[in-house]
Amino acid sequence: MCGRFAVTLPNDAMAQLFAARPSNSLPFVPNFNVCPTNQVHVVRATNDGRSLDPLRWGFLPHWYKSETAGPLLINARAETLAEKPAFRTACRERRCLIVATGFYEWTKTETGDRLPWYIHRRDNAPIAFAGVWQNWGAEDVRQGTCAIVTTPANRHLSAIHHRMPLILDAGDWPLWLGEAGKGAARLMRPGPEGMLDYFRVDTAVNSNRASGSDLIERVAI
């Protein structure tokens, strides 16, 4: 699962990295505490090449009458992505990349305290989460929404959580976006053991109102 993440790459650098045309209304960066329902940076394939767009993190199926008409769908399980009514069409036709620098997970102590961990690529490269997207709402007020695809955690990450986001290397971006034909299903597997590392961070990030670069600073344990 992924319930909070950070993005620090400048918008122009994101556009260059993904060879995407940037929207004029991209979210502010850096943001060290991206929360569900926030606007996030999403790369999509279009007839005119890739675009870098702001989408609401929280997928809204077309049958929702309001944004709160059902569960908040911030994650989509890879194992059932092609079967669930909410996601199955998006799985075939509307896959995307969601840009991040790192993400957070929590463990619990015996007393129920939530201890946050910051997870990042060991090579410190930006992260491209696999995602799916959906336009929702009436024609005059339609908004783009998205969810992050998750897989079972690999052995290394399972020490702190049983799920992990599906993270794609640059060579896999064309296949996931549909630019390289069919076969994206083979990408839906846990990331390699050596890809990610993690460390404890301050409990300040437990609040969705927290901000600042200190949220991703290592704390002693």
DSSP assignment letter at 185? G
Residue 2's pLDDT is 87
Q: How many structural domains compose the chain?
A: 1
120 part of a folded domain: no
CA dihedral sign of residues 34, 195, 106, 134: positive
Residue 131's pLDDT is 98
Residue 32 region by backbone torsions, left for phi larger than 0, else alpha for psi between -120 and 50, else beta: alpha
CATH of the domain at 70: 3.90.1680.10
Fill in the amino acid letter for 34: V
CB atoms within 10 A of CB 100: 26
What is the rounded distance in angstroms from the CA atom of residue 135 to the CA atom of residue 198? 34
Residue range(s) defining the domain that contains residue 144: 5-102+126-192
198 part of a folded domain: no
CB 39 within 8 A of CB 7: no
Residue 141's pLDDT is 81
Place of tokens 């929404």: 145
Residue 110's pLDDT is 87
DSSP assignment letter at 186? G
DSSP assignment letter at 209? T
Residue 101 region by backbone torsions, left for phi larger than 0, else alpha for psi between -120 and 50, else beta: alpha
Both tokens assigned to 57? 């993190």
| Length of the chain counted residue by residue | 221
Residue 220's pLDDT is 86
| 127-136 vs 39-46, strand pairing mode | unpaired
202 part of a folded domain: no
215 part of a folded domain: no
- pLDDT tens, per residue, the chain with 221 residues: 789 999 999 999 999 999 999 999 999 999 999 999 999 999 999 999 999 999 999 999 999 999 999 999 999 999 999 999 999 999 999 999 999 999 999 999 888 899 999 999 999 999 999 999 999 997 778 899 999 999 999 999 999 999 999 999 999 999 999 999 999 999 999 988 999 999 999 999 999 999 999 999 999 88
164 part of a folded domain: yes
What is the rounded distance in angstroms from the CA atom of residue 122 to the CA atom of residue 126? 10
Nearest Cα residue to 150 out of 111, 199, 108, 98: 98
CB atoms within 10 A of CB 64: 18
Residue 221's pLDDT is 80
179 part of a folded domain: yes
Both tokens assigned to 163? 């799920």
56 part of a folded domain: yes
138 part of a folded domain: yes
